[in-house]
Every structure is written in structure tokens, then in C-alpha cells.
Amino acid sequence: MNLDDIYTPIEEAKEEIKKRWKDKELKKKVEEFLKNDIPDFLLDDPKAYLARHISSPNFEFLRFEILANEVGLDFVLSECLDDRYLSLNVHKRYLGKMFFDSGNDKNGNKIFFPQKVVDFGKNDRKTIREVDTVSGEKLVHLHHRIFSEEYPGIKDKIKDISSWLDRNGKTANCFYTNFLALFLRNGILFESFLLNKEEKRLTENVILPAVIKLKEIFGYKPLIVRLLPKDDEESSFWHYYNGSLKDCMDDKEKNNC
């Protein structure tokens, strides 16, 4: 199995999730495999699922929302706030140094205005929930607050699964098989697994073996839809934000989410 093989085309996933959700034998096998430890928010209906360190309304989320609507599922955004904040991790770094769309230059090229919201030296290796912004606001609260500016009620869709991950292995090497088992019938995971220097080991040594193992056990691979366009999935653009969100960055009182 190569990396492309782990993905399911979105139209196929849309139909497959309906079939698998009704499969009582598959339901029983998944429950037994996970020892009935399936997050409550995946029990009533299958969900479109995006997992990130902190849920944030960047361009990546906007694409996810479009795809979730395309498969006709309600969506959920999961976080792991007990994970460590490491600014060397590109995904975590962009949570602490945010870029906002500032229009075009005279040549028509997009301009993105950077705003550093975290002192990396003071916050590296703290748990994500403990990270403070330079203004004294918790980093998690900042991202949730600006999220709620654009999407009132988004808080109800954001789930911290730290305790679930802790029960299911604590580290990626251990928990990923159980995590991906959630997408055999309880949801569709939207993700782009990469083979760049930073993520190659995780993708090749953890993700691919987990998918293969689940297919061998269940006869199905987990439903994973490629989140970002294949020829553009490593672009920093997906970590950036609409310029309208810049206006509420410093307004802590505007939304008490």
C-alpha cells in the first residue's frame, strides 16, 4: 500500500459511510476492538472529522467545511490540548505566528500580514492548554474566540480528546490504530498525510501500518478523504487567515467563548 491508497475519493466515501453505518456486524466488531471506548460525539451519527492541535478558522478549515458539506455530514473538530507546544513544529508555530490576508500588492500578488501572538521561548514545551499569548490571553482561547466571531456556536463542535488519546496509547506510535478505527464507520477523517522531512516518519512508520492493520482485521480501510489538493497540500497558505479576523484579534471582551 502506498500513500495514495489510504485515501477514499469523496464521492465514494459519501456512499460508503452510509452503508457502513447501517452494518450491525461492523458496528459490533469496531466496538469490541475499541473496548466500547468511542467518543460520545461519534455515537449518534457519523461525522466529518478534522483533528488539529487547536481548532482555528484558517483557510484549511474553510476547505474542510466545504468538503464536509459535500458529503452531507455534520462536522466535528477535535483537539489535543495536553500535547506539548513546540514551535519547531510548523503546524504549532503557525498557531503562534498568524498571517492575515491584507489584499494585493501593485502586481496583484497576495499580501499576508504576520502577527506573532506567542513568545516561543517562554512557551515551548508547555502543554497547549497552558500556552499564553503576548497579551496574557490563553492561546486556545484566542483561537476559539476569533473562530466564534465568524462561526457563532462553533464551540459546540470543538472537542478536546486528550483523555481519549491518553487512554488509547498516549503517543502517536500507540494510539493511531485505535484513532483510525473510529473512521471505519463512525466518521470520515479529512486529512493530508505528508512525506516531507517533518512528517515522513509518522506517515510511513505509523499511519500506513495502522491502515494496513485495520484493513486486515476488518476487511475495510478507514474512510480518509484527502483534505488539501495533492499538488498544493504543503503550501503555507492553508495556515493563513481571512483579513476580517484581524479586527477582532485584540478585542478580548467581544466574545467570551
If one counts every other C-beta atom within 10 angstroms of the C-beta of residue 22, the result is 10
Task: Report CA 243 to chain centroid distance, whole Å.
Answer: 22
Mean pLDDT of the 187-209 span: 93
Q: Is 137 left (phi over 0), alpha (psi -120 to 50) or beta?
A: beta
What does the mean pLDDT of the chain come to?
Answer: 94
State the pLDDT at residue 252. Answer: 54
Position 172 confidence tier, pLDDT thresholds 50, 70, 90:
confident
Encode pLDDT of 174-188 as tens digits.
Answer: 999 999 999 999 999
Q: What is the pLDDT of residues 116-140, one digit of tens each?
A: 999 999 999 999 999 999 999 999 9
Higher pLDDT, 94 or 199: 94
Asked if 201 and 172 count as a contact pair (C-beta separation under 8 A), the reply is: no
pLDDT for 197? 80
Given a cut of 80, whether residue 232 has pLDDT beyond it is yes
Q: Domain residue spans in the chain?
A: 3-247
Axis crossing angle, helix 24-33 with helix 172-181, rounded to the nearest 10: 160
- Dihedrals φ, ψ of 35, to 5°? 55, 40
Contact 241, 101 (CB under 8 A): yes
What is the grid cell recorded at 123? 512557551
Smallest CA-to-CA distance from 35 within 139, 244, 204, 182 is with 182
For residue 116, the model assigns a pLDDT of: 96
Whether 230 has a pLDDT exceeding 50, the answer reads yes
- Can you give the pLDDT at residue 251? 58
